[in-house]
Amino acid sequence: MFTTRLLLCALAVGVAGLVVAAETKPKGDPKVLTDDSAVRQATLKRAYESFRQKLAVLAGRLESSAEQKDRDRAKMIRKALKEAADRGVEVKFDALIRGLATRGADKNLDILSQAARDNAELRKDLQHLIALLTGDDLAKILAKRREMAQKLLGQLKELRDKQARLQAQTEIGRKETKELKKGQEKVTGNTKGLLDKLDKITEDPKQIEAVRPPVTEANREQKNSEGKLGKGDRDGAGMAQGKAVSKLDEAIKNLEEVLKQIRKEENERILADLLARCKKMLWIEQEIYDGTEKIHKELAKQEKDKPRLEYEARSNKLADRQNDNIREAHAALKIVQTEGSAAAFAEVFEQVSKDMDVVYNRLNRAEIDSLTLTIETDIIDTLKDAIKALEKAIRDNNDPTAPTPGESPNGKPRLVSLLQQLKMIHALQRRVNGRTALYGKRYKGEQAPPTSVAANPAEKERLAHTQKELKDLAGRQDRIAKVTREVAKEARPMQ
């Protein structure tokens, strides 16, 4: 594990070296410098190819590792390699080398300008690759790409709406042709300005590729409309404006698809994180249950040769393990709450953490009974349900033929479908009912005994904890009802 980390760091440093070399701007005779740059770029390309091959080998090794972290790292490396291929890093190296090696390149401003642009773009690609290989920055990269796409989408929609309004005004014929032409020139200029600043608005090649061709066509139709209006041809101008609107709609649709893919990648990371945490919690909880059950069986046999103190010590160790799981549950809850589109899952982790807290307190008091075991079983079953739902959500997220989970009220795609959330609510309700029935069997009458009837301090403390657990159970029922109403409210617009 340590070796793979060192190798990964060395490879990232290698990419950084390529970036630094690409940024070097030596001074001297233009022809000598141009020829030298061509040679240096060819050397850099070979270094990059070697780096890419080492990355592929490293990914293969990590994929066969028993460590989940290593396999996750391998997946990240594969994504980085795919991203580099999609961006055409090697093709850009070839284009840069070819341009610099062209005869008379040192005197051709067009070639030198293009080489400068290619170099800048290549530098961005290599910097992006560094960020991907650091792993922790991938979430920030996706968030930045999403923000850029949303900003660009807003600008495109604004342009489309302005052009559509101008088309309507042209076809209605209430405004003078001269005034319409002036309005069209303004919209045409705004569209040209967006095209000129496209590389600054977004650094994502996929977004640029999705937007530039249709917007360029739209701008061409806008200029055509200006010419038609200049000749007094309202009908021809209206048709050209309609084509411009259509092309802007095409750009919007293309960009929305890119944005949808970015959001799917973000969801994939969140789902994978939650799944890993749930599996870890399940493994620990099963270990706690096995230890608790063993103590419970030994106590049932009333082994007098073992003092009570030994059982308490073993129970306290299990409580420490439960405390570890509580921290993990809180972390999972925070992730879901921050994401904000899966209210039922937030309630699942809320109740799991509360159940773990109840078990922690019971184990700390060495209260090893059937109720403690039942609560631990509920935790295990809830985690299994969550794992099943998360695995289904991951499969659906990666399957283009699967129905989408839709959007939440905040406009984000749901982390999990409403159906999966309803299943989780049903499971929560079933466990609350089962827990209520269990308490009902333990205590006769409509209410649990008050602490005032306790025969001794230990009994008084036990009854006080029971009253607290029942109050918490009532609170859970209230929250389940609220979450059910929230999910139902989200489902209503889909009907």
Q: With cut-offs at 50, 70 and 90, classify the pLDDT of residue 5.
A: very low
In a domain, 296, yes or no: no
Domain stop point among 199, 225, 258:
258
Q: Please give the pLDDT value at position 168.
A: 92
pTM above 0.75, yes or no: no
The predicted-structure confidence for 13-27, as pLDDT tens digits, reads as follows: 344 444 434 444 445
Whether 29 is covered by a domain: the verdict is yes
Q: How confident is the model at residue 404 (pLDDT cuts 50, 70, 90)?
A: low
Mean pLDDT of the chain: 78
* Residue 243 amino acid letter: K
Domain stops at, among 121, 136, 151: 136
70-117 per-position pLDDT tens digit:
676 777 778 778 877 877 777 777 776 777 677 776 667 776 677 677
Q: Does 280 map to a domain?
A: no
Question: What own/partner pairs with CB < 8 Å and gap ≥ 24 does 467-476 have?
Answer: 469/358, 469/439, 470/439, 472/354, 472/358, 473/432, 473/435, 473/436, 473/439, 476/351, 476/354, 476/428, 476/432
In a domain, 476, yes or no: yes
State whether 230 and 322 are in the same domain: no
Domain assignment of residue 100, yes or no: yes
Poorest-confidence range of 172-176, 214-218, 301-305, 437-441?
301-305
In a domain, 272, yes or no: no
Question: For position 194, which CATH number holds?
Answer: 1.20.120
Q: Are residues 248 and 312 in the same domain?
A: no
Mean pLDDT of 311-336: 90
Same domain, 82 and 153: no
> What span, in angstroms and rounded, lies between the C-alpha atoms of 260 and 252?
12
**332 and 455 together in one domain:** yes
The confidence score (pLDDT) of residue 367 equals 87
157: containing domain = 141-258
Asked, for residue 409, whether it belongs to a domain, the answer is yes
Q: Which residue has the tokens 């961006």?
A: 87
What is the C-alpha separation between 268 and 88, in angstroms, rounded? 25
Checking if the pLDDT of 50 tops 90, the result is: no
Residue 348 has pLDDT above 70, yes or no: yes
Residue 279 placed within a domain: no
Answer whether residue 328 shows pLDDT above 80.
Answer: yes
Q: Are 165 and 226 within one domain? A: yes
Q: For 437-452, what is each residue's pLDDT tens digit? A: 767 666 665 566 666 6
One domain for residues 310 and 455: yes
User: Is residue 312 domain-shared with residue 246, that is, in the same domain?
Assistant: no
Question: What's the structural domain count of the chain?
Answer: 3
For residue 118, pLDDT over 50 is answered with: yes
Please check whether residues 488 and 353 belong to one and the same domain: yes
Task: Give per-residue pLDDT as tens, 143-181.
Answer: 888 899 999 999 999 999 999 999 999 988 778 888 989
Domain boundary, last residue among 136, 163, 192: 136
Backbone φ, ψ for residue 407 (5° rounding): -105, 145
Helix residue spans in 340-456 (DSSP H): 343-364, 370-398, 418-442
Residue 169 shares a structural domain with residue 111: no
Any residues with CB less than 8 A from the CB of 218 and at least 6 apart, and which?
A: 163, 191, 243, 244, 245, 247, 248, 251
Q: Does one domain contain both 123 and 87?
A: yes
Supply φ then ψ for residue 413, to 5 degrees: -65, 140
| CB neighbour burial string for 134-157, b if at least 16 within 10 angstroms, e if fewer | ebeebeebbebbbebbeebbebbe
Q: Are residues 203 and 66 in the same domain?
A: no
Task: Please report which confidence band the pLDDT of residue 8 belongs to, taking 50, 70 and 90 as the band edges.
Answer: very low
Do 9 and 111 lie in one domain? The reply is: yes
